[in-house]
Structures are given as structure tokens and as C-alpha cells.
Structure 1
Amino acid sequence: MSDIDYLLRVLNAKVYDVAIETPLEPAPGLSRRLGNRVFFKREDLQEVFSFKIRGAYNKMAQLAEEDRARGVIACSSGNHAQGVALAANRLGCEAVIVMPSTASSLKVDAVRQRGAEVVLYGESFDEAYRHALELQAERGLTLVHPFDDPDVIAGQGTIGMEILRQHGGPIDAIFVAIGGGGLIAGVAAFVKQVRPDIKIIGVQHDESTAMADSLRAGHIVTLNEVGLFSDGTAVKQVGKETFRLAQEYVDDVIIVDTDETCAAIKDVFTDTRSLLEPAGALAIAGMKKYVQQTGVVDQTFVAIACGANMNFTRLRFVAERADYGEQREAIFAVTIPEQPGSFLRFCGVIGERDVTEFNYRISDSAEAHVFVGIAASSRGETIELADAFDEAGFDAIDLTADELAKAHVRHLVGGKSAHASDEVLYRFEFPERPGALLRFLTAMNPAWNISLFHYRNHGADLARVLVGMQVPTSDAEAFREFLDDIGYRFWNESENPAYKLFLGS
């Protein structure tokens, strides 16, 4: 398909029967902080709280009547599913939606409420998609692909058309979240034909980098696994057509982490009082990182706020991690002599700074290990604190970027145990669904005693679990087989300094 075809497809896309032209809103608070003019393209204001309705409806409206009459099938973790369900409702056809079993209950319920049949299958988009293809063949349904389809891409491209119409002045860059690539392919294919001077910059979560890896390699790369925090972009493999268009038109891809994404959710809330889902805030997080990395000022940026299907119970986790993303809290493990006056000297180093957390339990007659959180204005202040501890003669380890410390150690009590011999420590991610923990426990060798366990529900779609197990060295091979067979993502934290200081035997 020629690129001029995409220009015409976008101009003639049938999206406005169900979609609205969303506002392009200035973000005054973020603009002041970044020293640039920032605008949010508010796709979270669509009826399904996501841009996905555009591509889904455009594809289905273009189908032949006999194809729609057979019914449609789609695979999605949630937002495309809602778009297809709404489009089917408006067009009077049946819809079957295959969703991963890890999909947000908020999104599953929303799809069912729009009259679609929901089939839950697998733990990832890719597993669910393979099942959708099987159902398509069995039931003679018409597939509505979530991203790798010219009509879907063109529907999403109407966002780029609206941005150029709504902002007649210079735009230096448009930031776009990437999952399978349908949104950025459509926006880029239109914008670059009309305004080639505007940079198109993609943003991916660091646990779902399929497009960035593919562009770097020069061919489509399939990831072995993806993280589910940004579930709307958790795709192991991008589309052939979306990759082709990205190769031609995308100027750069920025990678952001969970903390940076949470900080971006907070930024949007501060300026708009609206709450985006993680995937919906990726573009904002990437824009902030771009400014930080390049140091540019007085430029004009548009970030597409592409989704707001956020579970309310997930907000606790987002709020906790937002300050890390803004580098406004530093976490240290500080070792001080277990003797009179040491604690006073330690507090003197902290000075007038706000202490956000302080954990200590006596465990040694010579040294005390203190877990402390301290409010900081920037990463630079964290470095200054580390230097101050060093100058005072205190051994301090900066744990601000340590996932074990942030997600688990700060919430654990009890200290070290003399009984935890042969202990290994692993961090797991479980799908947050009935039976996941039981599956883990029954797969374990009953001879391996659980010596530490920490789980805290963050209202997300996956559970973060820390497990200490007493595994004799003679069982090392059997333990490796257990890890391979269980099928959950895991990290060996047995050598983590936070564990050794505060919990290790």
C-alpha cells in the first residue's frame, strides 16, 4: 500500500459516527516545569475512554455487509475490545472478544456491558490471539485486528489529522505510546505526509519493548515475555504493516519505566484532574524523559493521552511510586555503629529534610542497619545525601532504584532469622487471579520450607510476591527445574544488598 493511500484513508475514515474530535488541551503546570509548551490530546475522553474506538469502528464500517452479518471476533486486553464491542452494538452485529485471563476486571465488565461475548484465555495477548484465530476458523467470524490492519491504522490516524487542524502553529514533536504500533503508524503516516518537519517519537514501557527492539534490529523481533503493568501496550510482537510504517516515519523511541509512568499519571491528574491508565500515560512519561535527556526549552510538544481505563484499586500503587518517578524520594540502607550518639549524628546528616519512612530493629551488638526514606527534590539531592553519609563515616547504599526495596523490604518487619538456613530469595510476578498462588505452592517440593513470604495487593492485574525458601544445595538442580516449569516471571534476589542487610540470615 502506498503512503498516499494512507493519507486518503485517514481523510475518508468513518470514525465520527461513534468517536468525538477530542480536545487538544494545554498543560500549564507541566509546561512551566519543563520549560516547554505542552499539550495533551485527550483521547481518554472518548466514550470507551480510549482512542481504540476509532480504528475498530473504521474497520467494521468498511466491512462488506455479509462479513458483518457473520459476526466479528477480536483479541484485546481491554481497550480495543471495548471499541469493537461498541462498534458492533452500533452496527448491529455480533461480537466475540477474546481477552487474556489477566485482563482488568474493569475492562472485562465494560466489554460485557456493551453486549459482546467475552472469552477469557491465556495469560498474555499473544496466547489469547492464537485462540481467537482458532475461534475465527471454527465459527466463520470476521477478524478485527487490534493494530495490524490498514483500516484500523487509518482510523487511529485521524488523531494526527485532528492535532494538525487544532494547532496551526509550530509543533516540534508528537509523542505516542506504542504497543502493537497501530496508533503511532496511523498518526505518523498522516502527519509526515503533511508536516514532515514534526518529529514523531514513540514511547514504550521497559517491559514491553517489541517495537524499539525491532527498529534497532531492522526486522521484527518477538519478545519472550512482557510485563503487565502497562497492559494496554503489553505486546510481544508488533505488526508487519505497523513496523513498516514505523521504520519509515518514526524518528525515535523512548523507553520509560514503571516509576516514570506513575509520575506521568500524577502529572496529568495535576493539570486536568483526570486519571490515565499506565498505557495512557506513556506518551507523557516519554515526553518528560525526552526533555530531560536533550535539555530542550521553548519548544511545542503534543502527548497523546490515549486511555483512562484504570482500576480504582490500582491507585495506591501508582501514588506510592509516583514520587520515585519524579525522583522526589530517596531510599537508603545506612549502617551506623550500635553505640550512644550514633543515631543523633545520623539525624544530623538528614538535617531539615522530611523523613518519609524509617525502619530499624536491633539485630547486632556492633552495627545497626537503618532503612530510611527521605524527601528529595531531585536525583542530584539524592547524590548529595549519599556523599553526606559518606563524609559522616556512615556506610550508605542507595536503594532508590531497587525494586526489592521499594516493593517489599520497606513493608517487611521481623529482621534477620537464625533459623533461615539454606535460604534463597526470589521475587515473582503472579497473575492476580484465583488459584495462582495455589499453583505455585503445589508445584514446590514440600521439603522446601517457606521461610519468608510477602505479598501486598496493589489492585493491579498481577501480584508481586517475595518468597524465601530453604533449599539445600543438593536440591539446586531440582529447584532450577521448578523455576523453569512454574511459568511465572522471577528474579533471584538472594544477593540483593537490601535483603542481606535487613532480612538475610
Structure 2
Amino acid sequence: MITFDKIKEAHKNLQGVAQVTPMTKAPILSEDSGSDIYLKKENLQLTGSFKLRGAYNRIANLSQEKRDKGVVAASAGNHAQGLAFAAKQFNCEATIFMPEATPLTKVSGVMSHGANVVLTGENFDEAYAAAMKFREEKNCEFIHPFADDDVIAGQGTVAIEILEKIPDLKQIIVPIGGGGLISGIAIAAKAINPDIKIIGVVSSGATAMKESYKSQMPLDSKSVRTIADGIAVKNVNPKLLNIIIDYVDHIVEVTDNEIANAILFLLEKHKLVVEGAGAVATAAIMHDKIEMDDTKVCALVSGGNIDVTMLAQIIEKGLVKSNRKMNLMVTLMDKPGSLTHLSEIFRDCGANIVQIDYDRDSIKLDFGEALITIALETKGDEHQKQIREKLKQNGYKFKQI
């Protein structure tokens, strides 16, 4: 059973190990919502996410005999790095099984803390099966990423830090994947202030916990698909569901587009690099999924370990969506001076060309034509309207993509 006393013990275990991450007011979110919105920045934790807390507390509570036998886990992300870091502190051998397709940056991050990495299987389930086989063979301790009392207690220490900073907080908004984080936070927060509301957020591509919460029984998803890979969990743990039913006030969902908007917002406005799972609480506030009325609210930014290629895609799509980038396909006469004339139109409109591709061989083109694919830096919707009008006035055939 997870009690507040266990969470307070975990808080003591983590003293001098886990950072007391910053919690600061978000002025733009606060102004837009009419509430005082604060961000708890666990993306700035030592390993880039809250997972360090639970992993360290779990190993801290092992006997020395069990530590000497080593620990094993299966993970493709933050749990792996948190466990590797924690094991290093206790001079405990850690073996992490990760899917073969795990990005090199994540593998390198785990290995940098001295853990053994075994790449196996096409997905998490296959890596998990290999880890369980290893546990049986080596008789070592398996550290589950969320369905473990000591891990949950460690994650609950986040709530203690939040309410020490702002005792009169009214709501805490928390991402939900497997449910370990929100379970620990909810137990601790309700013990400190029974009137506080705990709101969970899932991705619309991974709604198993939300559907289970609504039905009051475990309902697994057949598949998950979301950019928030840290909360892309298919199977619902019955014990964690019961805790969430007892302690969590409401669960909402956000789409991948809303998550991407939040990632870009946090990057631009708060200079925070945040992964998909870490942005869902902010996304829920930005897109009016949370009922707020002149209250104090904390959104948990749970992690920042985003793959740079994913971040690049999000930035690109965000710039297009906010009309700061314009992609065009323009048909030209394939003769000297045609491209110069086109570029002069963009120059006169004050649009900067950032990328250009010239195709004269496409079978879709008539003889004597060329197709230009061009990317422009623009200054909003009105600016893009001006560019389109100029192209029409000059007789260009074009398509915005």
C-alpha cells in the first residue's frame, strides 16, 4: 500500500540526489486563462525527467544483497536513463533491455551512466519479455517503470515540492501514461490538502487509462499512436487504476496537434525543450480542456528528452500553421529570367526565400515548363494573402502546400 508516510520517506531518500526543479509562473498562460498558472519543470531534472525519483527510491529500498545481484529493466526512454543514473549512485549493476530501433541518443544516454544496454526486439513488449527472461536467469531485481510501490512513492515527491512552493494551489495537471506519476502525486497532494484537484491528461492516441477511469474497470487499447511516446501505454494496471479512481478528480485528452502546439509554445515563450508527454498538461490548459476560474494551477512539465528529428518536424509544422512559413509550388516558363522575375515578386513583398527546388523533368509538366517548389519566411496571414495576390496578378499558376 502506498501511503503519504512512504512518499515522505522517499523524499528523504532523494535529498541531495534529485534536484528540486524550478516552479515558475507562466505569464502568457496566466493572462490567457485568467488564472495563475505555474510550470513545474521536471524536464530540468538530472536525467531530463521525473523518472529518476522513482528509480532511485526503488534501489534505495533494496537490501544490499539484492543490489549486489544487480537490477534489470525494459524501457525505450526516460525510465532507462533514470534507473541507470540511480544504479550508478549505489554501485549497482544495471542492465536495460531496449528495442532495436531505439534512437542512438537514448541508448548513449543510458550507457553514459554505466548501465549495460541490450538492444533486442522490434518493440517494447519484446524487450520486456527478454528482460523478464534475464531476471529469471540471473535472479536479479526487476524495476518496473510505474507498477511498483517504491517507484510510485518516489514520483509522489513531486507533489511535496509543488505544495511547499505554493501551499494554496487549487489544481495540479499531470500527464498519464501507466499511471505511476499521477498516483504518487495524487496520494501526496490529497494528504497535504484534501480539497486540491488532480487532473490527468492523456493523448488522444493512447486513451486506455481515460476509458478505464470512465468505465471503472481496466480496458486495454489494441494499439497506440502518438507523438507523446512517454505516455503511449496500451495496457492498464488494475492497481494503479484503483488509485486513480480514488484520488484523481478528472481525466482529459489532447490531440497530437495540440501537443505539438504546446511543445512549440514552451520552446518559444519559455525557452524549455519539452518532449510530447511533458507538454500534455500545458496543452490541456492552452486548448481549454481544464475548467479554471481565477485559481492557482500547476501544470507538470514531466520530461524534456525529445528526439531532435521530432522536434525539427514540430517546429516546421508549427511555423507553417502559424503562417510564419509558406510553402509554394509555382509553374514557370523554363527560360532565362523566369526565376529572377519570380524572386523579385517575393522580394517586393518582403518575403525571404529559405529553400528552393527546380524541376524541369516531371511528366506532369508541359514542354517548356518548370516546377518550382519554394519555402518562404512570412509575417502572418495577411502577408501570405499579399503574396498570393501578387502571384495571381502576374499570371502565375501556383499551389500552396
The verdict on a shared fold, with TM-score over 0.5 as the criterion, is yes
Per the alignment, do residues 294 and 264 of structure 1 end up closer, same or farther by CA in structure 2, a change over 3 Å counting? closer
2:302 equivalent in structure 1 = 306
- C-alpha spacing 1:138/1:228, structure 2 compared with 1 (3 Å): farther
The letter for the 1-side match of 2:183 is A
Report Cα offsets for 1:44-90 as digits up to 9, x if no partner. Answer: 11110110000000000000111111100011121110111011111
Q: CA deviation at 1:37?
A: 1.4
Q: Distance in 2 between matches of 1:25 and 1:118?
A: 36
How do residues 354-503 of structure 1 correspond to structure 2 at under 5 angstroms?
Answer: 410=401
1:306, distance to aligned residue in structure 2 (A): 0.8
Following superposition, the deviation at residue 125 of structure 1 comes to 2.6
Q: Tell me how far apart the structure 2 counterparts of residues 100 and 375 of structure 1 sit (CA, whole Å).
A: 43
Deviation, structure 1 residue 252: 1.4
2:199 to 195, 198, 201: 201
The CA distance in 2 between the partners of 1:296 and 1:363, in whole Å, is: 55
Distance 1:135 1:118 in 2: 13
Q: State the one-letter code of the partner of 1:28.
A: P
User: Which residue matches 2:211?
Assistant: 213
Pair 276,166 (structure 1): closer, same or farther in 2 beyond 3 Å: same
Is 1:278 aligned with 2:276? Answer: yes
More divergent stretch after superposition (51-60 vs 104-113): 104-113
Cross-structure match for 1:91: 90
Which amino acid is 1:245 matched to?
I
User: What residue ranges of structure 1 are gaps of 5+ in the alignment?
Assistant: 332-351, 365-372, 386-408, 411-505
The code of the aligned residue for 1:196 comes to P
Tell me the equivalent position of 2:121: 122
Note if 1:49 corresponds to 2:66: no
SS of corresponding position for 1:12: helix
Distance (whole Å) between structure 2 residues aligned to residue 220 and residue 123 of structure 1: 26
**Count of aligned residue pairs for this structure pair:** 352
**Residue 146 and residue 163 in structure 1: after superposition, are their counterparts in 2 closer, same or farther (change >3 A)?**
same
* 8 Å CA contact retained: 2:203, 2:226: no
In structure 2, what residue type is equivalent to 1:229? I
1:324-339 counterparts in 2 under 5 A? none
* 1:26 lines up with 2:25 in the alignment: yes
Change (3 A) 1:82 1:9: same
Q: Deviations over 1:129-167 (max 9, x none)?
A: 222112111221101110001100000000011111110
Indicate the SS of the match to 2:96: strand
Q: Does 1:192 align with 2:190?
A: yes
**Do the aligned partners of residues 293 and 328 (structure 1) sit closer, same or farther apart at CA in structure 2, a change above 3 Å counting?**
farther
Name structure 2 gaps, 5 residues minimum. Answer: 327-348, 354-361, 367-375, 386-399
Q: State the shift of 1:173 in Å.
A: 1.5
Look up the equivalent residue of 1:313 and give its one-letter code: T
Residues 293 and 71 of structure 1: CA distance in aligned 2, closer, same or farther (over 3 Å)? closer
Amino acid at match of 1:96: T
Match of 1:486 in 2: none
Check conservation: 1:25, 1:39, Cα contact below 8 A.
yes
5 Å matches for 1:286-301?
Answer: 286-289=284-287, 292-293=288-289, 296-301=292-297
User: Following the alignment from structure 2 to structure 1, what is the Cα–Cα distance between the partners of residues 202 and 66?
Assistant: 34
Partner deviation per Cα, 1:174-204 (whole Å, 9 max, x = no partner): 1111111111010011111221222111111
Larger RCO, structures 1/2 (Cα 8 Å, 6+ apart) = 2
Residue 252 of structure 1 pairs with residue 253 of structure 2:
no
**Secondary structure in 1 aligned to 2:3?**
helix
Q: Which amino acid aligns with 1:319?
A: I
Of the candidates 173, 176, 182, which is equivalent to residue 175 of structure 1?
173
CA RMSD across the alignment: 3.4
How far 1:298 moved relative to its partner? 2.5
Match of 2:390 in 1: none
Matched-pair contact (CA < 8 Å) for 1:28–1:271: no
Match of 2:311 in 1: 315
Say whether residues 1:8 and 2:14 are aligned partners.
no
1:210 and 1:328, CA in 2 relative to 1: closer, same or farther beyond 3 A? farther
**1:330 Cα deviation after fit:** 12
Alignment of 1:343-362 (within 5 A): none
- Percent identity of paired positions between Structure 1 and Structure 2: 39
The change in CA–CA distance for 1:154 and 1:295 in structure 2 (over 3 A counts) is closer
